Chain A
Amino acid sequence: MNRLSDTHKTLVREHINEIVHFLETGEELTDHLITAIEERELLGDDPSDNEVYGAINIVIESDFGGFYTVLMDEQERSKVYFNNYRKALWKRLLTWFRMPYVWFVIMLFFVAMYYSYTYLPEQQIRISIWIILGLVPTVSIMLYYLFTLRNKPSFKRQGIMSFSIMPMLANLLTFQLENLLPFEQSFFTGYTYSFIYAGVLITISCMVALTAVAMIKEELLILKYRTD
């Protein structure tokens, strides 16, 4: 079996990355091509770059029926992946309401209510807190994006990025709700509504923020493993 040199392996990787869009497709296809080229002994000793490109085309044609099939599979896979990823995110958020995490959520809710009742009488301070809490997941996601900017986009990164808009939307909706609903005149009389409302908001924001941070941490660990 003729082993490809590191230079030629890089050549294969770079050539494939120019064609496919996502990191996962690139990695799997690169491994397949290098294994196939080596095991089928398609190249002699010290091949030229053009011979390597030729071998890539031979394997792609014989195994996949051309790059078109690969790209179609990638497109199909990305649709399925995003749907599954969204479902996984919701599932993960819902785990906060299962034992034993639900105790943490209840405790957080009461602490948030007490905190906003005791220390946050001013509307402006409350709004600032909501903005900060709403921004935590978005900022972490943006930082993660900057960290991984040099890498090829992965299915997971696309999924995480699509998640970044959620807390911001939730925040917008929250402020709109406060403007739209006649809280001051409602049965949530006077100041009473404020700390319940703030408690709910802070709890939800923390749940979203912690979920986002946990998922990003997992993804960064995978990236670290890849570069080690």
Chain B
Amino acid sequence: MSSGKLLKGTLQTIILRLLEDQDKMYGYEITQRVKELSNGEFRLTEGALYPALHKLEADGLLEASTAMVDGRVRKYYALSKDGKTEVKEKMSEAAVFIEKLQQVLSLKPNPSTI
């Protein structure tokens, strides 16, 4: 399943949602978690993931910390205070979008608007 392009628009929402669930995660862990949750169907490319993480960090939605793991520095990302607010907005935006997309793809308008 070629999901890369479809995932791109929702990448930030996915990252924020995963970090809402876990206290902190590192880049590789995020890709593996997405793979696991989608039974291997969704595959986040790191070429897209890291720029998204860095952008979220620069925008102040994520906070980064480092820890020494097996003799190397590991960078963890966690939701900032602003990030915790943003994840709720992003989730409701995504829910509305999925609902509308389903209506369009099923070629059935919302009965309440007819």
- Residues from 70 to 114 in B contacting A, C-beta threshold 8 Å: 70-75
Tell me which of B47, B54, B58, B75 contacts A64 (CB under 8 A): B47
Interface size class of B (residues with CB under 8 A): 20 to 34
Residues A80 and B51 in contact, CB atoms below 8 Å apart: no
B73, A76: Cβ atoms closer than 8 Å: no
Cβ contact of B51, chosen from A9, A27, A76, A222, cutoff 8 A: A76
Partner of A63, one of B45, B55, B70: B45
**B45 touching A65, Cβ below 8 Å:** yes
Cβ–Cβ < 8 Å partners of A226 in chain B = 66, 68, 73
Contacts of B55 in A (CB 8 A): 80
- Tally of A interface residues using CB under 8 Å: 28
Which among A31, A64, A77 has the highest number of chain B CB atoms within 10 Å?
A31
CA distance A65 to B50 in the complex (A): 13
Inter-chain contacts of B46 with A (CB < 8 A): 32, 63-64
Decide if B45 touches A36 in the complex (CB within 8 Å): no
- With A63-B45, A73-B50, A80-B54 known as contacts, the answer to whether A27 contacts B71 (CB < 8 A) is no
Query: In the complex, what residue of chain B is closest to A72 when comparing beta carbons?
Result: B51
Is A202 interfacial (CB-CB < 8 Å)? no
Question: What residues of A have a CB within 8 angstroms of the CB of B27 in the complex?
Answer: 28, 32
Q: Which residues of B contact A73 (CB under 8 A)?
A: 47, 50-51, 54
Q: Is the CB of A31 within 8 A of B72?
A: yes
Q: Could you tell me if B47 and A69 are in contact, using CB atoms closer than 8 angstroms?
A: yes
Q: Is A35 an interface residue (CB 8 A)?
A: yes
Asked if A183 is an interface residue, CB under 8 A from chain B, the answer is no
Given A27-B66, A31-B26, A64-B45: A81 in contact with B75 (beta carbons within 8 A): no
Give Cα A227 to B105, complex, Å.
55
Residues of B within 8 A of A (CB): 26-28, 31-32, 45-47, 50-51, 54-55, 58, 66, 68-75
